[in-house]
Amino acid sequence: MSQRTFSIIKPDAVRKGYTAAILAEIEKAGFKIVSIKRMSISKAQAEGFYHVHAARPFFGELTDFMSSGPIFPMVLEKENAIADLRTLMGATDPAKADEGTIRKQFAASIGENAIHGSDAEETAAFEIGYFFAGIELK
């Protein structure tokens, strides 16, 4: 059954000009891009998005980074989309990511790791709703 997940091309990858290459990997892996936009978010908006990490020591660094430049939030669809996107992204730390994954190819560090992907159905629902209105998801 088809499933939707949420992803962000992060500021590091946008700055380095990797957006199109990352989107090509995503399409090559069989995902349909349901919706996508380019935008910048404030520190407060990044804090809202990452609220589950509020107690982590890296929360300040993470939200400064995510509000440091344009991002591409998007909604992706395929069978098993949530798990398959996480496989395609590779490990959070690019040094530990498998060959051929997006983070292995395009990410520099655990903080600046090129791409975000939802980790579960409930998180995907929250994250899609945080960035997209229903009318953008037809």
Nearer to ligand CMP, 101 or 113 (CB): 113
| CA distances in angstroms from 69 to 11, 39, 65, listed in the order given | 5, 8, 8
Please list, in sequence order, all residues whose beta carbon lies within 8 angstroms of the beta carbon of residue 98, skipping any fewer than 6 positions away.
Answer: 90, 91, 104
- Contact between 68 and ligand CMP by CB under 6 A: the answer reads no
| Options 71, 73, 116, 124; binder of ligand CMP; rule CB under 6 A | 116
- Contact between 113 and ligand CMP by CB under 6 A: the answer reads yes
53 is catalytic: no
At 39 the three-state DSSP class reads strand
Distance of CA 64 to the CA centre of its chain: 16
Q: Which residues bind ligand CMP (CB under 6 A)?
A: 53, 58, 61-62, 92, 110-111, 113, 116
Which residues does the annotation mark as catalytic? 116
